[in-house]
Structure 1
């Protein structure tokens, strides 16, 4: 779920020599009220601004259009804090990608170690091209010999590698087919679509 909305940020543009009619302070501030787009309560970018006059002493606000001040000539550069979301979110997404890649590499290294000494009850996670949405299947090794490996495939395909690993780690009754599918050890050792082996 994505939480988004906007918040209003206040920025003092400059002071002008106009007196406050309430507290008789000699100057008023031109204040910019900027609407800032927020994503998960983090400001991403400003998208509109309105100006008003405000007394720095008593806080009374005045309509700027009742003065001779031309709002179009006012320049108020937005604070870098209004753009912090544009910095944070790419960093978060990049970090997630890097860590998931590192985790996948660790799974592959572990799989290479287990592949050399495959045992009964090992669960091999394979990536298939049959279904792009659910590309991962689990092959449970039931028996090994010098030349062949025998096992059964999972009845289900999985959307992510982590889900397939969880299903392999914590199998339930009826998760696997009953018909065994043998494969030669030579062919097994050359398979390139092995993504993980769970022991």
Structure 2
């Protein structure tokens, strides 16, 4: 179940002096509160969408939406706001901030993963796993694993399983899936991994 909706929080308080209250007709001061409205998802504020300005008579405690009061009161409120504008708090953008951090974190993680793969490609070791897209079936992926390194050659086993999603490739890494032998010269493998265009990721335990 997705919990979403709207909410508000107090973002400013102040006072309007020498006001005639429409309810008790006394010359009073009114305390006002500015509420910032925002959309939320799972109770996390995502972005603001407006403000509500509420005034309360100090004498009779009647409350009003300031926009519904007379022009004189609205003019006083406008002067007060011009002098000290109400700022939307950063917390009302929390959701957007969290999403931005996740995106930036993902980009940094991918970059670190790419740098690791390039480092492993320069110095292959037994147990390294190479991830690739099947050349004859675009959008399908598999892996191979290095099992032996000689003076001139890299030998190993290719995975007999494939999967249609890069993000789910860990599901096919079971040792029993590596059954098809392969071999490359060190120069061949170096060419295939120099820019990660063939093997897009290399992992090492």
Whether the TM-score (by the shorter chain) exceeds 0.5 is yes
More helix by share: 2
The structure in which a higher percent of residues are strand is: 2
**Greater CA deviation, 76-85 or 181-190?**
76-85
Shift of 1:65: 6.2
**Is 2:28–2:59's contact at 8 Å kept on the other side of the alignment?**
no
Q: Aligned partners of 1:2, 1:185: CA distance in 2, in Å? A: 52
Q: In structure 2, do the counterparts of structure 1 residues 187 and 80 end up closer, same or farther at CA, with 3 Å as the change threshold?
A: same
Mapping 1:7-156, distance limit 5 Å:
7-10=7-10, 11-12=12-13, 14-16=15-17, 17-19=19-21, 26-39=28-41, 41-55=43-57, 60-62=62-64, 64=66, 67-69=69-71, 74=78, 77-81=86-90, 83-85=92-94, 86-87=96-97, 89-113=99-123, 115=124, 118-119=125-126, 122-128=127-133, 130=135, 133=139, 135=141, 137-154=142-159, 155-156=161-162
Structure 2 length as normaliser, TM-score? 0.63
Q: Which residue of 2 aligns with 1:182?
A: 183
Listed as ranges, the gaps of 5+ residues in structure 1 are: none
Q: How many residues align?
A: 187
**C-alpha distance in 2, partners of 1:152/1:191?**
17
1:20-58 Cα distance to aligned partner (Å, 9 max, x none): 968x89311343333112355443432133333224688
Normalization by structure 1: what TM-score?
0.65
Alpha-carbon distance change, 124 to 61 in structure 1, aligned in 2, over 3 angstroms: same
Gaps of 5+ in 2: none
